[in-house]
Chains A and B, each alone.
Chain A
Amino acid sequence: MGRLRYPLRRIIEGLITLFIVMTIIFLLFRVMPGDPLSIVIDPKMTPEVKEMIRHSYGLDQPMFVQYGIYLKNLFTLNLGESFRYSQPVSEVLAARIPNTLLLFTSASVLSAVLGIILGRIIAWRRNSKLEYGLTLAGLFFYEMPIFWFGLILIYLFAFRLNLFPISGMIDFELWTLGATTGEKIIDILHHLILPLITLTTASFCGMMLLMRTSMVETMKEDYVEAAKARGLPDKVVRDSYAARNAELPVITAFILSLSASIGGGVLTEKIFSWPGIGYELYQATIGRDYPLAQGCFFILTLMTILAVIVIDITYAYLDPRVSYD
C-alpha cells in the first residue's frame, strides 16, 4: 500500500489542478470580446432565427449554467462539438494529434539525445575550442526566434534551392493519384524535414546548454574527483559518475517537452502549415470556436499534469535518494 499511496495522492492533486485550469480557461473565453456565432450567423437573418441558433449552441443560457454543463461534459470526457466544423471536438483533435506527435515527439527525442551527448562532451572538455564554439552557437540558436529561423530555412531550402516542399504535410496531388504506401511515407518525411530541423535546432541547443551546466556542476563533486583518482577509465568517470548524475535535471526538461509536444507549436505549425494541434488552436482562438479551443487546452493541461507525475515517479528510479514512502 505504501508504494501506491504516493501515485494515488499525485493523481488526486492532478485532478484538482485540472479542474482549476479548466475553470480559468472557461472564464477566459467568456471575457474575450466578440461573438462566437459571428461566423455562423448571417446579419441578414431574422432575430428569431438568430435566437434559435444561439439556443442550439447553448449560448443563451446564463453563464453558470453553461459552466455546469461544461464541467459535466468534461467529467464524462465529452468535449462538445466544434462551432466551425460542426463535428465532435474529439474527432477534430483525433485527426490532428498524430500529425503533431509525429513532428514534435521526434523533435523532442532527437533534441534530448543530441543535447545529452554533446552537452556531456563539451562539459568534459572544459575550456576547449569545441566547448567555446558549441556554447556560443548553442546560445545563438537557442535565443533566436523560432519563426525567423523557420522562415529562413523555407526561403533557402524550399524557395531558392527547391529541395523541400514549402508547406503542408502531404502532397495532395500525389496522394489522390494513388501513391503506394512507400511513396506516401517518403512524401511525409520529405515534408517533415524542414519543420523538424527548425524545432530540433532550438530545443536541442537548450538541452545541450542545460546538460553542460549541470555536468560542469557535477564535475566539481568529490565523487567525480575520487573516481578519477582511482584511475578508472576516463569514459567511465565521465559517463557513469559525472553524466549519470548530471542527467537528472535534463530528463525533467525532456519529459516536460514531450508532454508539451502534443500541443505542438503554434508558430512552427503556422509557418509550415503543419496540420496539427497548434495550428488548430490558433484557428480556434481566432474564430472563437469555444469548444475546440477548450478541447485543445484540456488535452494540453492533461498532458502537462501527467508529465509532472511521470517525472516524479521516474525520479524515484533514477535517483535512489528520492523516496516516496
Chain B
Amino acid sequence: MNAKTKILEVNGVVMHYRLSGGRSVRAVDGISFSVEEGRTTGIVGESGCGKSSVAGTILRTLPDNGEIKSGKIYFKHGEIAGKSGMIDLFSLSEEEIQKIRWKGISMIFQGAMNSLNPVRRVGDQIIEIMRYKDKISKEEAQKRLERLCNIVHIDPKRMRSYPHQFSGGMKQRAVIAMALSTDPKLIIADEPTTALDLITQDRIMEEIKEIQKELKMSMIFISHDLSLVSEISDRVIVMYAGKIVESCDKRSLFREAVHPYTRGLINSCPRIRGDKGKLSGIPGEPPSLSSPPKGCRFHPRCPYAIAICREEEPEYKEMGEGHFSACWVVSDG
C-alpha cells in the first residue's frame, strides 16, 4: 500500500463556540494535519485544548453553538453527491454528511459508558446501525455481529444483554465493535480508554493495536495521555489552547521534540528505561479560550519565553523532515 496516500486532510480549520453576549470560545484555531491510509495520527493535549472539538468538526457532530468559521476538510470517499476523490466535507449537505457518518468515518466515543442506549440490548444497537448503513438482512447482520465479537473478544451470547449488565471494559469493547461494524475507512477514537482502570485500559489498547494491524485501519487517536498516543500512533500532533504546537513522527518524538510544551509533557511522563530523569509537571493552568493570551498562547507558562513570545504568534515551521513546530525560541536557534 502506498503509505503516502492521504485519507483525510484538515486544512486551516477554525471552529468557535458562540457564547451569550457575543463572546466566543476559539476551540479550534487554525488546525492543519492529515491522516495517511492505514496509519494512525495521534492528537495529544490537556483537557479543554480543543482535541475533541476537532473530532466533532470532522464528523460535524458539534453542539448547536459550534460554528465552523473557515478552513477545509477533505476526505477520501467513494462517490457521493456526484463528487469523488478527495471530498470537501464542509461542502456537503446534512443529508450527504449523514452518509459519511459511520460508512466513511466512525467514532469511538469519549465515555463509552454512556454512549449505549440503556433500554435496548447491546447487540440490537449494533445490528441496527449495520442494517441502516449497509442495508443487509437480519441474518447477515447477525453473522457479522458474531465476527465483530471475536475481534473485540466478547462472547457473542452476551450481545443479548443490556448495557448495564456489561462491565466498563465490555461496554468499551462493544463501542469499538460498533465503530468497526460498518467497515468504515477512518476511525476516530476519542479518549477510548480514559474511563477505565489501568489493567483494562492496557488490555483494550492491546486489542486496538491488534485491530489496527489486522484490518489496516486508518485512525485518529485522541488522548490527554502522551504515552498512550505515542504507543499507538505513527504521527503525533500536540495541541495547546486550540492550536497545534508541534507535530512529528512517533519515532522522533521523545528524542527530537523541541517545543517547550511538548518537552513539558514528556518530562511529566515517568519512564521505565533510559535515564530516570526528574519528573516535572508544567506549572500554571491552560488559558481561557474565550480570551487567549496575545502572542504565543503558551508564553505565560513557558520557562523560556522571550519578549517576542508575548507579542507575536510564532509561525508553524518545518524543523526537520516531517517535523513541525511553532515556537520563537527554538526557531531562532
Residue positions of A touching B, CB distance < 8 A: 126, 221-223, 225-233, 236, 240-241, 244-245, 318-321
Interchain Cβ contacts under 8 Å between A and B, 20 examples: A222-B109, A222-B111, A222-B114, A222-B115, A223-B116, A226-B115, A229-B107, A229-B109, A230-B102, A230-B178, A231-B98, A236-B132, A318-B119, A319-B118, A320-B118, A320-B162, A320-B164, A321-B119, A321-B162, A321-B164
Write out the residue numbers on chain B whose beta carbons fall within 8 Å of the beta carbon of A126. 64
Write out the residue numbers on chain A whose beta carbons fall within 8 Å of the beta carbon of B209. none
Write out the residue numbers on chain B whose beta carbons fall within 8 Å of the beta carbon of A223. 114-118
Known: A223-B114, A231-B99, A231-B101. A245 touches B106 (CB 8 A): no
Assess whether A230 is in contact with B114, with CB atoms less than 8 Å apart.
Answer: no
Q: Which residue of B lies closest to A126 (CB)?
A: B64
Q: Which residue of B lies closest to A222 (CB)?
A: B114
> How many interface contacts (CB-CB < 8 Å) are there between A and B?
64
Give 12 new A-B contacts, CB below 8 A, not counting A229-B109, A231-B98, A244-B120. A222-B115, A223-B117, A223-B118, A230-B102, A231-B102, A231-B103, A232-B128, A236-B132, A240-B120, A318-B119, A320-B164, A321-B118
| Partner pick for A225 among B61, B118, B162, B178, CB 8 A cutoff | B61
In whole Å, how far is B333's beta carbon from the nearest beta carbon of chain A? Answer: 45
| Partner pick for A230 among B97, B99, B129, CB 8 A cutoff | B129
A225→B175 CA distance, assembly (Å): 14
Known: A222-B109, A225-B61, A321-B164. A232 touches B132 (CB 8 A): yes
Shortest beta-carbon contacts, A-B, top 3: A231-B101, A222-B114, A226-B115
A274→B119 CA distance, assembly (Å): 42
Assess whether A229 is in contact with B119, with CB atoms less than 8 Å apart.
Answer: no
Assess whether B101 is in contact with A229, with CB atoms less than 8 Å apart.
Answer: yes
Write out the residue numbers on chain A whose beta carbons fall within 8 Å of the beta carbon of B115. 222-223, 225-226
Q: B86-132: which have CB < 8 Å to A?
A: 97-103, 106-107, 109, 111, 113-120, 128-129, 132
A221→B109 CA distance, assembly (Å): 13
Known: A222-B109, A321-B164. A229 touches B118 (CB 8 A): no
A318→B118 CA distance, assembly (Å): 11
A222→B109 CA distance, assembly (Å): 9
Write out the residue numbers on chain A whose beta carbons fall within 8 Å of the beta carbon of B119. 244-245, 318-321
Q: Which residue of B lies closest to A224 (CB)?
A: B117
